[in-house]
Amino acid sequence: MLSWEYRDPAEVAERRERERHRKQEQCGNCVHRLSVEWRRQPLDACGKKRAYGWRCWMFEERRV
C-alpha cells in the first residue's frame, strides 16, 4: 500500500477513480491496450510493454 491509501476510505476511492479515469483518457482507445481481471480487480496494460496511462509514440487509435 502507498502512504496515501491509509487516509479516509472515501478519499482513497475517489483518488483511485480519478487515476483510472486519467489513464483511460490517455490509453483507453489504443489498439495495444489489454484488459485482464486479476484477484477480482480489472487491470489494464499495454501490449507493447509500455507504461499504461501515459500516451506513447506507439499509440494507435482503435477503429470501430
pTM metric for this prediction: 0.72
Supply the range of the domain harboring residue 23: 1-64
Residue 1 has pLDDT above 80, yes or no: no
What per-residue confidence (pLDDT) applies to 4?
Answer: 84
Burial class (CB in 10 A: 0-12, 13-18, 19+), 48: middle
Q: How many domains, the chain?
A: 1
pLDDT tens for 9-63 read 999 999 999 998 999 899 888 999 999 998 888 889 999 999 999 989 999 888 8
Residue 2 has pLDDT above 90, yes or no: no
